[in-house]
Each structure stands twice: as structure tokens, then as C-alpha cells.
Structure 1
């Protein structure tokens, strides 16, 4: 088995182990056999399939979405520090979600999909705004310019959310939960709400995996290779924004998954997006399932917001990549 095959085998095994740990470990320990044996203990079977399993599945889908979106943004922008969180895309998605919660908007023909649609719209608009502003400031789109632009937009959008929190009443708890990031108390309805958009976003990025490889060498080279750069860039941005918006709509703002996972995968399998995207998807799912497990067990019975755990993991990795990039650039 070659290096890539080993990476897939290990990734799948880790994901299976993470899911089993996520559904069996907690305040109440549940035997693995409960997964298929309803007669053993109906109460435990109910806890596993109606409380823990949807939470674990949702955490896996959110982690996979953020990781694959981060891998695509990094490839498109040729910047290892790009991810939905550092680019401000998560903040844009959060504003879209919080507007729905704050005003209690429900569009009849969208139904339960009102929240993710507004969240995705916020993510996509923010992504376009960040790239557009960065180009105005610096035509060469240097790493520092993009990241600083993302920080500027994140700060501005954060102030909008803070304003809505200051003006809110009953919705305060729900909005704060969105900001901190959590998959707690989410049922199968949330999985059903996010899944269609996660499938669409993932397919969009997967269909552009070869184009992402071509864009690594620059837009001119990609054009010579027959890539319709403008259309493909919009498809990649749309795919990443759909994934980010869907993830934020059901879990709130969870940072650094899209930064950490693709970086680690590149160290193992290289920068080929034909391998990077699926491996990021699998390992992003595993990482967030394990982070969620840690968030609800580390100080049990109290739960930490999952965003706190990912920030503890992601901030040092962000600092390391930034330091490495600066040293390489200065060499």
C-alpha cells in the first residue's frame, strides 16, 4: 500500500473510532453493542440514537465542511493561512444566521432552510468583499493583505453581532450560543437542515479539484491549461461559502478547523487536491467529533463551547504557519 492509501486507511479508522467514542463516552457510559441491540436497554438505545448520534453526526459534518472549505480557500488564494475563520467568512455567515434569530424571520417557501440560506448568503458576500477589498489595497494579493482584510471584516461584522446582542431580549441566549460554537442539544432536524447544502458544496469543490491544482501555479498558467479561471473561481468560492454557511447555521462560529486540518494533510499527502480534499473531509470530521467529546467531558457535567477547544488547538498552529511563512519569505 502506498503513502496515500495508508493515509486513507488511517483516516477512516480514526473517524470510525472517533464516532464510536463520541456515542459511547459521556455522563452515562453506553456499551458499543447498544448501537445495534435495542433490546439490551431501550433507555440507553434512545440516548445513543436520539441524543448522542445526531450530535456526533452533526459535529462530523461541520468539521468536514470547514476543513474542505479551508483546503479550497488555501488552494485558491495560494495562502496556507486562509480558512473560513481567518478570512472573516465565518463571521459573515454568523451575521446572516443572527439576523434570522434576531428578527425571527421565516420565509415560507424556504421553511427550515431559511437559516442556512441566509447564513450562506452572508458567507458568500463576505468572501467577495474580502477579496475585492484586498485587491483594491494590493493588486498582488499578498498573504498579509488578505489576512488583515479578513481581520478587518471580522471585527466589523463582530460589532454588528454585538449591537444585536445589546438590543436583544429573549434571543440573547441563542445568539451567544451561536457565537461560541456548539453542537449541543441539536437533533436530527439540524442534520437534515445542513446535509443538502453540505453535499452541494462538497460536490462543487470536488468537481473543481483539478482546477485548484492548476490555479496553484497562477491564473495565467491555469488559462494556458484550458481552465476558465473566472467561472471556476466563482464555483470554488460558492462551494466554500455554501459549506461555511451550512456549518455556521447549525453550529455557530467554530474557528481554525479549516486551517489546521488541510495543513496537517499537506504534510502527509502533499498539495494535490485530488487527495487533499477527501482527506481533509475525513480528518476534519474526526477532529471536530473528538473536540466535541472533549468539550463535554473535560469539566463534566459542565460543557465547554466547542469553539474554545478548537481555538486552543488552532491558535498555536496559526502562529507556527505564520512564523514559518515569514521566515521562508525573508530567506
Structure 2
């Protein structure tokens, strides 16, 4: 299914950015985040060091939910726009697997690497993997849009197999499994601050939203209106790689989030990137927070990784989208 994109005039877009519905959405998400702050096994109200633990664990975890949820949903939106395909996002194109391979390579080459070093390896590898996927799409003509995510999942499976083999050979398989668990359990003060990088990426996406929207119309149309198509694609790839690499290092794998959120928002609001961006970020935060709350409470005092719950929900949505596309023919 090829995305149907329409370029919205700047003034009309500005008028659609903020309304009463968005304010209600912000209040609902704020309520979920407050619930996140006060959900957990540790008694922050009754324990002598409750206030300190609140600052060390609960606040960083909730901030990470906001940043990671918004960033991965936004990355999915940008990727779908640039590929003109509603079934792609970092976990269906192999980008996440490439990020894990890059992080693993840094761990092998540099004993006890710092978080910035791991991020650098993950971002570089995610960029390479995303470019490989984009170049494949440009050189191979695929009649059905359903084939695109299948190809991406296959590429990701190959990269994941290579990562597993390397991890087995270097006795780092356990670390690789922890990275891809996709859990906010280990998010603590002093270990999550680099995640603020994705907030900067969000600002950049908002600034260049119109160019990304025009690029999403196709190379021919973008070139005719004077846009440097290849430069915009390169910029979009860098932004996707940065988000995926940073989130993978700090949180882990968040499957299908970038698939679920943009599709829901597009069905309701259309395909204008700039006006949809606040909604995409809000819905991404809401879904991740709800899944995290379920994971924390369903078998308390133990936790279920948020990636497990996201994977189940995302897989159902993915299948429903495929069936919907098949009915349309």
C-alpha cells in the first residue's frame, strides 16, 4: 500500500497543530506518566530513603518512557513517509538488528566501553543498515508493498543471526539478550541521560517536516519543486539511525511501535508530517507507558519486558493491516 501524501500549506498546518483534542491527549498522557511515577514494588512513600529512590529510579524511568516512546514512533513515521510504505519501521527493516550488531562490535573491540561509545557503534551500524535497505528499494522494483517489510524482516533476521553467532563466539550472548529485551527496568539516574539526544532529533524532524513530506511524494515530484531529494533522504536516514541506535543502547528493542502509531494517526488525521508529529509522539508515549505499567503489575513483584507486550500488540496490528491491504487488492 503506497502512502497517499498531500502537502499541507504552512498556515493551514499551523492551525491544526494545537487544538482542544490535543490538549485532552496531553492530559491523558500526563495522567499515565503520574501513574508510572507511583507504580512499583518499592514503597517510596513509607521507606526512609523513598524520596531518594524516587529520584534515582522512578523519575528516570518515566522520562525514558517519554523520550523512547516518542522517538521510536516518530522514527517509524519518517521511515514510512520516505519509503511510501505503511508497513515499515525500524524493527521491520532490520535497522534495530544492525544497531545491535554495531553495539556488539564495539563491545568486542573495546573492553568495557562507555555508553557514548556503544551509541556511536549502534548509530553507525543502524545508518549503514538503513541505507542498505533504502538502496535495495531503489534498485529493485517490487509490485506489492507487502513484500517490502518481508524483505526487511529477512534482512534483519540475517543480521540477527550474524550477531548471535558472533556473540556465541565471544561469550557475549547474555549481554546481547539483555540489550534486545526492551525493558525499562535498568533505567537509572546517571545511565539514561544520553537519551535526551532523541529530543534534539525530534526538534530537527519538526523543522524539516515540510521537506520530508515533499520527499515522501516521490523523487520526480520532489525534484520538480526544487527539492534535493537525495539530500533529504540522507538526512532522514541519519535521523532514523540516531534514534534507533540511542534507544537500542539505553532501553533495547521496542518492536512494532513505529508501525502501530503512525498508522493509527494517519487513519484519523491524514499524512501531513508536521501536524501529525505531536499526535504521533503522544500516542507513542501512551502506548509504551501502558505496556510498561502492564509489565510492572501483571506478575508483581516481577516484571515482564515491555518488548514482549509490545510485540504481541504490534504483531496483531501488523496482521490486521496486512489483511486490510489484501482485501483492498
Question: TM-score, normalised on structure 1?
Answer: 0.87
Aligned residue number for residue 12 of structure 1 = 26
Instruction: Report what 2:117 is aligned to.
Output: 114
**Structure 1 consecutive aligned stretches of length 4 or more whose deviation exceeds 4 Å:** 1-4, 102-107
The aligned residue for residue 297 of structure 2 is: 297
1:38-61 Cα shifts (integer Å, max 9, x gaps): xx9652212221111111211221
**Unaligned ranges ≥5, structure 1:** 32-39
Cα pair distance change 1:15/1:235, threshold 3 Å: same
Instruction: Confirm or deny: 8 A CA contact 2:91 2:153 kept in the other structure.
Output: no
Residues 1:21 and 2:22 aligned together: no
Could you tell me which residue of structure 2 aligns to residue 270 of structure 1?
270
Map of 2:77 onto structure 1: 71
- Equivalent pairs counted in the alignment come to 315
How far does the alpha carbon of each residue in 1:62-121 deviate from its partner, in whole angstroms, 9 at most, with x for none?
A: 1111000000011111111111111111111111122233444467xxx53111111111
State which drifts further: 20-29 or 140-149. Answer: 140-149
Do the aligned partners of 2:80 and 2:87 also contact (CA within 8 Å) in 1? Answer: yes
SS of 1:180 mapped into structure 2: coil
- Report the equivalent of 1:36: none
**Equivalent residue for 2:95, pick from 89, 97, 102:** 89
Structure 1 match to 2:214: 214
- Give the whole-Å Cα distance in 2 for the aligned partners of 1:92 and 1:141: 26
Listed as ranges, the matches of 1:195-214 within 5 Å are: 195-196=196-197, 198-214=198-214
Structure having the higher helix fraction is 1
Aligned partner of 1:259 in structure 2 is 259
Q: Where does the alignment leave 5 or more consecutive residues of structure 2 unmatched?
A: 1-14
Change (3 A) 1:2 1:160: closer
Q: Does 1:126 align with 2:132?
A: no
CA distance in 1, matches of 2:244, 2:115: 17
Q: For 2:156, which of 154, 157, 168 is the aligned residue?
A: 154
CA distance in 2, matches of 1:58, 1:322: 31
CA RMSD across the alignment = 2.3
Q: TM-score normalized by structure 2? A: 0.88
What does residue 49 of structure 2 align with?
43
